[in-house]
Amino acid sequence: MTSRLPAVALSARPAGLPPAGLPGLDPRWSRLVEAAGRTWHVLDNAEVLAEAGRAAVGTVLCVHGNPTWSYLWRSVVTAATDQALAGGEAWRVVAVDQLDMGFSERTGVARDLPMRVNDLADLTDELALTGPVVTFGHDWGGIVSLGWAVAHREQLAGVMLLNTAVHQPSSSAIPAPLRLALGRGVLGRATVSTPAFLETTLALAHPSLEPRVADAYRAPYRGAARRGGIGAFVADIPTGPGHPSEPERRRIAEAVRELDVPALLLWGPRDPIFSDRYLDDLLGRLPHADVHRFEGSGHLLADDVDVATPALTWLGDRVSGGVSSPIGEGIGAQDPDAARPNTSSPRLWSHLDDRRDSTETALVEMAPRGGDGPRVVTWRALARRVDRLAAGLSAVGVRRGDRVSLLIPPGADLTAVLYACLRIGAIVVVADAGLGVRGLTRAVRGSWPHHLIGEVPGLSAARALGWPGRRISARTLAPALQRALGVSHSLPELASLGAASRHRLPEPPSRDDLAAILFTSGSTGPAKGVAYRHAQLEAVRDALASQFRVGPDTGLVAGFAPFALLGPALGARSATPDMDITHPSTLTARAVADALRAVDATVVFLSPAAVANVVKTQGALTTDDHAALGRVQAFLSAGAPVSPHLLERISALMPQAESHTPYGMTECLIVADIALDGVREAALDSEARGAGGVCVGRPGPGVRIRISALDADGSATGSIAQEPAPGVVGEIVIGAPHLFDHYDRLRLTDRAARTVDGASAGERWHRTGDVGHVDASGRLWVEGRLPHVIVTAEGVVTPVGVELEAEAVPPILRAAAVGIGPRGAQVVAVVAETEPAATKVRLADAGLTATVRSAVGTSVAAVIVVPALPTDIRHDSKIDRSALSDWASKLLAGERVGRPA
């Protein structure tokens, strides 16, 4: 190891204290500690706690990596100290400068991994840390801290990690920046002779470090004689089985699997060194760990975002009083008496088992790729294909708990492979193409699947963008294309393998096993992975069946992907109409009629954008088309609010149908429901309407609704009453047996969504982020999203009521109400799309502006007419009012802006 280091790397230098005035660093924390003949510099808040008379419940032992120093942990020391001095739980924080790093002694010895683990043990012995101890490591300090943890199990209360690694897969190369630094003739110049390695690391911050903070990181490494440890650390990266540190690396990596203490992994996905690949490996070793990925952040996570608050909050949840909670308990744990799914419900594939000999139609794909006409699949054919794909997937190594990303358009292929995965216990990851390349990349990398099954466009993106997972093609490819895309198998090949093999299917997964990760639309922020267990998906199916009487022998047309995939679980024969499912507004009235006839359907599910285009294209309908539409008994539209006007128009096309607009979300597909008659009744009830909004009806079976009232700043208080008071506006909070389990790898988001005051112990609630109220009749009204609430000098204004009133003014087709100016003194602006469409952005004329002001009943500063309102590409309906507010503010301030995007 030492032969690769320049001689200067072995220089000996004494320890010292950091210079005064480094931003964020309290000089009271700095101390020098003699341990085993070496002098360490550490940050330690023990004396500050003692002076305040606060006894620590335990110690957080923070270990930095290369080329940082204990300064990395300044926010953790600060936050822990402030919390203790404010009367909260007192944690001692000890952040070390590893030997040859920071302001600790330069030993003159190139220290390898075993030495560094022993060094840390010498220091903690000297400090008399007897426990409880929670380790906190970053970069190469991560494996050093874990080495200490596995050797001090009797003292260990938990482990926390920022981006780090304990294993380098043989199938992938060491990250490029490290390969470059390890290159022949490069190591010394890049790490010691020059500060190149240090400066490259500092440049990884998002956003860039403030100059004074960057200088603080440089402070202990001024001059080549001070940077020897940086070079030694790089040289100690195990690059193969013959490396001196490889046995210790392997020992620690395997020992971590035995740790049964609480674990927290905070991760920056933009890290070019410790990518999500290493997070996935750590989760394989610590499957019980809590995880949060901070989108947009990277290697210097502790400077990119606040990691101190979530770390201390997690300590309070999982290691309260220094005592570890049992694995699986804490936030999100469910009381046995709380509402939960029915564990005796049939499995999701039960209808496939029961009808495997039936020649009746199971599903029809109206526009199969490369087909000359509709593709009809019987129950027998579907059951056989699911069985064969399940056996084939098992035969090639897809295992229970493996994540399988499905990048296949809704239809027969997606349905078959989805149920095959569910049957063998693989976790399906579904993120549709409507998220766009950037959104899909974020979703696939965030979920880090073991396998990826897709059509050529998805496989091409996976190859070009480095998406993880073994690639399987949905169809047979030419050998050259298969090699180019890195495809190992195809679904036809797996089906043939399953049919020919005697491979026995594994035991069915438990109802408590994870079944699916479904990504949200991303219309109100980065798309989130919503995790469901098998029991919860079964509860979703049961809620649909109960609420809308969908079951065996029901003909179902589903132009809304979530419901299309549940057709076989409901036992319904289903058809996917001829449309681009990722752009619902491509669905035509004739395509709906064709699909209705194909399965003799009486139930139709469509998204609001699809409904709008069906109404728009009704002029092309034939007499037979009208007859098919006339046989519909139930019509449902979900995914976004549906205006009463649009609901009336679609109902006229299906005169025998009871039209419903269920309110729900990816996290809970059915929350409330209302039929057209209920919409009409609510529209006449001005007292119930209150501040405005869309009436979405009463709670569905098993659903509980609460309201967390808004304060004067337009923020939800987080407190809920046992029964919501009529007319109180606030965040909508829900509980249900079919509520999702958790957000995937987003602990902070999940905790915020689950945390409510006033709930009974163990109850599971979800803060939806939607704003609304419950009226005296128990009906729920949705008034917008929490981030879109406008706070004027006169009070809080929710946007949907304003928008609905504006849309009743000709020629306005759609409207968005946004706030302009500082919160608390905002004014309302209405951005409107008209019919016919405007050709350019302009302020509305005086007449239209006056009519809108009169109609909405609140002060409106301006009406802006635009050619089209920007909507999310998945629903073609949801508007990002926050972005639109920024755009409108610039326009009204006189800046040159284009069309809103």
**What type of residue is 173?**
A
More confident residue, 758 or 740: 740
Whether residue 212 is contained in a domain is answered as: no
Decide if 126 contacts 94 (C-beta within 8 A).
no
- The domain total for the chain is 4
pLDDT above 50 for 653: yes
More confident residue, 654 or 553: 654
Q: Distance (Å, rounded) from C-alpha 1 to C-alpha 240?
A: 12
- pLDDT in the model for residue 170: 67
Pairing mode, strands 106-107 and 658-660: unpaired
**Pair 416, 515 in one domain:** yes
Average pLDDT over residues 485-489: 97
pLDDT above 50 for 460: yes
Which CATH number is 45's domain given?
Answer: 3.40.50.1820
pLDDT above 90 for 722: no
- pLDDT in the model for residue 411: 87
- pLDDT in the model for residue 351: 96
pLDDT above 60 for 623: yes
pLDDT above 80 for 707: yes
Decide if 338 contacts 763 (C-beta within 8 A).
yes
Query: What does each C-alpha distance from 611 to 288, 530, 650, 762 come to in angstroms?
Result: 43, 26, 7, 40
**Pair 397, 292 in one domain:** no
Whether residue 59 is contained in a domain is answered as: yes
The two three-digit tokens of residue 37, written as one number: 């003949």
**Pair 451, 311 in one domain:** no
- The last residue of one of the domains, among 322, 340, 371, is 322
Which CATH number is 865's domain given?
Answer: 3.30.300.30
Q: What is the pTM of this model?
A: 0.92
Contacts of 138 by beta carbon, 8 Å cutoff, 6+ apart? 63, 64, 65, 68, 72, 161, 162, 163, 164, 301, 302
3-39: b (≥16 Cβ within 10 Å) or e: ebbbebbbbeeebeebeeebeebeeebbebbebeebb
Q: Distance (Å, rounded) from C-alpha 644 to C-alpha 652?
A: 12
Q: Which residues pair with 780 in a beta bridge?
A: 697, 774
Q: Each residue of 819-865: pLDDT tens digit?
A: 999 999 999 999 999 999 999 999 999 999 999 999 998 899 999 99
Whether residue 585 is contained in a domain is answered as: no
Contacts of 772 by beta carbon, 8 Å cutoff, 6+ apart? 693, 707, 729, 730, 732, 780, 781, 782, 783, 798
The two three-digit tokens of residue 758, written as one number: 């006033």
Q: Distance (Å, rounded) from C-alpha 629 to C-alpha 621?
A: 10
Which CATH number is 683's domain given?
Answer: 2.30.38.10
Q: Each residue of 561-581: pLDDT tens digit?
A: 777 789 999 999 999 899 877
- pLDDT in the model for residue 505: 86
Whether residue 301 is contained in a domain is answered as: yes
**Which residue range(s) make up the domain with 823?**
789-892
Q: Each residue of 298-357: pLDDT tens digit?
A: 999 999 999 999 999 999 999 988 898 887 554 444 443 344 566 678 999 999 999 999
**Pair 9, 50 in one domain:** yes
- pLDDT in the model for residue 322: 85
Outline where DSSP puts E strands in 655-774.
658-660, 663-665, 668-673, 694-699, 704-709, 730-735, 742-743, 766-774
Whether residue 610 is contained in a domain is answered as: no
**Pair 55, 137 in one domain:** yes
Cβ atoms < 10 Å from Cβ of 184:
6
Q: Which of 631, 714, 701 is nearest to 664 (CA)?
A: 701
Cα-Cα-Cα-Cα dihedral sign, residues 317, 318, 322, 326: positive
The H or E element spanning position 481 is: helix 479-485
- pLDDT in the model for residue 559: 82
Least confident range from 38-42, 429-433, 598-602: namely 429-433
Average pLDDT over residues 647-663: 93
- pLDDT in the model for residue 343: 62
Q: Distance (Å, rounded) from C-alpha 143 to C-alpha 233?
A: 12
DSSP state of 746: B
Which CATH number is 364's domain given?
Answer: 3.40.50.12780
Confidence of residue 183 (pLDDT cuts 50, 70, 90): low
- pLDDT in the model for residue 177: 72
Helix (H, G, I), strand (E, B), or coil: what is residue 473? strand
Whether residue 226 is contained in a domain is answered as: no
Backbone angles phi, psi at 590, to 5 degrees: -70, -35
Whether residue 641 is contained in a domain is answered as: no
Helix (H, G, I), strand (E, B), or coil: what is residue 105? coil
Q: Each residue of 49-92: pLDDT tens digit?
A: 999 999 999 999 999 999 999 999 999 999 999 999 999 999 99
Whether residue 483 is contained in a domain is answered as: yes
**Pair 316, 375 in one domain:** no
Decide if 106 contacts 130 (C-beta within 8 A).
no
Confidence of residue 2 (pLDDT cuts 50, 70, 90): very low
Helix (H, G, I), strand (E, B), or coil: what is residue 873? coil
Decide if 435 contacts 444 (C-beta within 8 A).
no
The two three-digit tokens of residue 274, written as one number: 């410790």
pLDDT above 50 for 118: yes
Q: Each residue of 238-270: pLDDT tens digit?
A: 877 888 999 999 999 999 999 999 999 999 999
Average pLDDT over residues 161-171: 88
- pLDDT in the model for residue 195: 95
Query: What does each C-alpha distance from 127 to 26, 120, 289, 375, 780 come to in angstroms?
Result: 20, 11, 28, 72, 59
The runs of H, that is alpha helices, within 549-632 are 561-565, 567-570, 589-599, 608-616, 623-630
- The last residue of one of the domains, among 490, 508, 533, is 533
**Pair 295, 421 in one domain:** no
**Pair 390, 525 in one domain:** yes
Outline where DSSP puts E strands in 520-616.
529-533, 555-558, 573-576, 603-606
Q: Distance (Å, rounded) from C-alpha 12 to C-alpha 232?
A: 13
- pLDDT in the model for residue 396: 95
- pLDDT in the model for residue 1: 36
- pLDDT in the model for residue 517: 97
**Pair 398, 513 in one domain:** yes
Q: Distance (Å, rounded) from C-alpha 83 to C-alpha 228?
A: 37
- pLDDT in the model for residue 875: 47
H helix count then E strand count, the chain: 33, 38
Return mean pLDDT, the chain. 91
**Pair 496, 385 in one domain:** yes
Burial class (CB in 10 A: 0-12, 13-18, 19+), 173: exposed
Helix (H, G, I), strand (E, B), or coil: what is residue 222? coil
- pLDDT in the model for residue 342: 60
Burial class (CB in 10 A: 0-12, 13-18, 19+), 793: exposed
The two three-digit tokens of residue 641, written as one number: 């609010």
Cα-Cα-Cα-Cα dihedral sign, residues 887, 893, 894, 895: negative
Q: Distance (Å, rounded) from C-alpha 87 to C-alpha 267?
A: 30
- pLDDT in the model for residue 438: 87
Burial class (CB in 10 A: 0-12, 13-18, 19+), 250: middle
**Pair 525, 488 in one domain:** yes
Backbone angles phi, psi at 88, to 5 degrees: -80, -175
More confident residue, 184 or 129: 129
- The last residue of one of the domains, among 302, 322, 342, is 322
**Pair 140, 285 in one domain:** yes
